[in-house]
Amino acid sequence: MTPHRTLVVVAHPDLENSRITAQLTAAIKDVEHVTVHNLAAAYPDRRVDAAREQELLRGHDTIVLQFPWHWYSVPGVLKEWMDQVLTYGFAYGSGGDALHGKRLQLVISTGGPESSYTPAGHNRFTMAELLRPLEATAHLCGLDMAQPLVLHSAPRVAADELDRHAARYRELLAPAAVAGR
């Protein structure tokens, strides 16, 4: 039986100066059957090799998009990747079934606390509401979207809490966990 393979697309514009994304990436890089793909390192000029990315996607069963929340959305580096890789005939439209039945896991960190992502909070909308465009993207591409893993209050999160979050992430990607779904 072929193992369940997981592709982690790390999308941070400045990983050297990241705390959360850097630690989460380090936590999962040696998990079995996991490929870590750092977009900003692969494409410093943002000219994405769509054919290479599409091959990577075809070769994995779970696709993880790991990113900091930027302006209520994905960082530019990930938007660029989406625009260039999720093309007609590959990800959607006639013959565009390459992603059908794969699993999508979002792993997000936000600066705002959880309480700010409520109707009365200063971000006004819930994460579930703000994630609707990504949910629609998953739906169009035939991806099965898992419950996103979100870390709030990123700049203020204590070291031990970040360690626990990283351990949860690692468990989520462990072969036994992904194969059992």
**Contact positions toward ligand FMN, by CB under 6 A?**
12, 18-21, 68-72, 109-112, 154-155
CB-neighbour burial class of residue 155 (10 A; exposed 0-12, middle 13-18, buried 19+):
exposed
C-beta of 33 vs 70, nearer to ligand FMN: 70
H-helix or E-strand spanning residue 138: helix 132-140
Q: How far is the CB of 136 from ligand FMN (least distance, A)?
A: 19
Residue closer to ligand FMN (CB basis): 2 or 71: 71
Whole-number minimum distance, CB 51 to ligand FMN, in Å? 29
The nearest distance, CB 130 to ligand FMN, in angstroms, is 9
What minimum distance in Å lies between the beta carbon of 174 and ligand FMN? 22
Query: How far is it, in rounded angstroms, from Cα 83 to Cα 39?
Result: 14
Residue 85's φ and ψ, nearest 5 degrees, are -100, -40
Query: From the CB of 115, what's the least distance to ligand FMN, in Å?
Result: 12
Residue closer to ligand FMN (CB basis): 49 or 129: 129
Q: Are 179 and 8 in contact (CB under 8 A)?
A: no
When CB distances to ligand FMN are compared, the closest residue is 111
Q: Which is nearer to ligand FMN, 111 or 142 (CB)?
A: 111
Nearer to ligand FMN, 9 or 141 (CB): 9
